[in-house]
Structure formats: C-alpha cells, structure tokens
C-alpha cells in the first residue's frame, strides 16, 4: 500500500466490513481521552488505564491502515497534563517511550512514517527525546501512512499534513482542548461516549459510515 495508491483510490476497499463505495477520510485525528478514568474504574489504577490506551493506539493504527487512511494524528499529552502528579507524568512518559519502541518494528514492516509533534521538547525526558529522534529517523522514508503523536501543545503547522477530515474525542467530553485549532476548521467532529481503551474496530467502521453521511460544504 503506497501513498499514491491511497490518494488515487480513496475508497475503503481495504476494510471489507465497510462498503467499498464509501469515501475513506485521508486524515483522522483523535483526542484519546478517558484512559485514567477507565483504569480507575476497571483496575483501581489510572496508570493501567494508560497502558491499555497505548494498546488501543496500536490497534487503531492497524485499523486505519486497513481502511486506507493516509494520516492518523493522536493527541496523547496536553500542556495541561503537566499539572498532574509527577509520578503519573513519569509513568506517561515511559508509556510513550514504550509505545515508540513497540511501534517501530510494525512501522518498518507496514511502511508507516512516525512523527511526534511537540511544542516544547525541552520538557521531555532525555530518554524520550532520544527515542523520538530514533523512530523519526528510521521511518522517515516510509510513505504508506503517517502516524503522528502529538505531545504537549498547539501545533500550527504539523509537518505539511493534509487538514483533518475527522476529529474524534472519546470519554463523552464535548470539547477540543486546543487540539489542532488551525487545521480542524472543516473537520467533522465525532464525540464518543466511551473511554479510549474501549474503542473497537467496529467503532472506526461506524465513524467512516457517519463521515460519508455528512455533507461537507467547506463554507460554500
């Protein structure tokens, strides 16, 4: 699957559960909200919820590839999250680092370019900065799909990506939290009443169907 193939045939033929004549969004963005609440409800531990959320990012990336999505941007950590307890922040940084190491092999196999959008990388721990540089360097020539992990901040120019077609937020919250404010002007907003670790492949299928139901007029 190459970038050229995606742009020339933007139907969701690669996901057989979705009708082949449906148009596939080029760029999906996700605010992965509710990990901590999910973990506390299920395990009594917010950190374990973040661990499950990381696994869902891996799975969701696979589902987007199967559907023919060209770019996926995940909002993983906001500037406001720096106000949380240090122990939780440290655990989150280690989870992001673990995710980067876990995704690298799959990224090279599936031709995924991985990039991390950070407004101020000076706040990130040295081990995470090193991992980010490594995964970005090793996947820089991959073209089939682009996975972008947004950490801490508002990005006005996220690496020349196409503007998002869909912005998803989980956990039932109805706000966008400063995420890609300049790019989502014409994105279709999808708010899901479930926590991020609970999202399934069927949810993505339903979102694509809903995307095709909507009339995108782009202000005309």
pTM: 0.85
Residue 153 clears pLDDT 70, i.e. is over it: no
Tokens (6 digits) for 155: 């990005």
Q: CA of 115: how far to CAs of 15, 82, 131, in Å? A: 25, 21, 11
Closest by Cα among 69, 26, 46, 73 to 195:
46
pLDDT of residue 159: 59
Query: Tens of pLDDT along 36-55?
Result: 999 999 999 988 998 999 99
Is the pLDDT higher at 155 or at 207? Answer: 207
The residue from 81, 90, 134, 193 that is catalytic is 81
Q: In angstroms, what CA-CA distances link 87 with 46, 52, 53, 80, 190? A: 11, 18, 18, 15, 32
Q: Fold for 32-188+204-209, please state it.
A: Undecaprenyl pyrophosphate synthetase (3.40.1180)
Q: What is the pLDDT of residues 79-103, one digit of tens each?
A: 777 888 898 889 889 988 988 998 8
41 carries an active-site annotation: no
CA distance 188 to 167: 6
Residues 70 and 162: their CA atoms lie apart, in Å, by 9
- In the annotation, is 81 catalytic? yes
Mean per-residue pLDDT, 127-141: 93
Residue 8 has pLDDT above 50, yes or no: no
């Amino acid at each position: 699957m190459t970038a050229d193939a995606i742009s020339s045939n933007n139907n969701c033929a690669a996901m057989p559960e979705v009708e082949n004549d449906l148009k596939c969004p080029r760029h999906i963005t996700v605010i992965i909200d509710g990990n901590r609440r999910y973990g506390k409800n299920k395990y009594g531990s917010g950190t374990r919820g973040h661990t499950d959320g990381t696994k869902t990012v891996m799975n969701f990336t696979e589902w987007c590839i199967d559907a023919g999505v060209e770019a996926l941007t995940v909002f993983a950590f906001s500037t406001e999250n720096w106000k949380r307890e240090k122990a939780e922040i440290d655990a989150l940084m280690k989870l992001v680092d673990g995710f980067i190491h876990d995704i690298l092999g799959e990224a090279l196999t599936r031709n995924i370019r991985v990039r991390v959008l950070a407004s101020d990388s000076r706040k990130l721990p040295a081990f995470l900065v090193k991992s980010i540089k490594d995964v970005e360097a090793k996947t820089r020539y991959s073209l089939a799909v682009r996975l972008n992990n947004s950490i801490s901040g508002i990005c006005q120019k996220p690496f020349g990506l196409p503007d998002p077609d869909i912005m998803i937020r989980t956990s039932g919250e109805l706000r966008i939290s400063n995420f890609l404010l300049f790019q989502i002007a014409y994105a279709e907003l999808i708010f899901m009443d479930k926590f991020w670790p609970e999202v399934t492949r069927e949810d993505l299928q339903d979102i694509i169907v809903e995307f095709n139901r909507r009339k995108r007029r782009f202000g005309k």
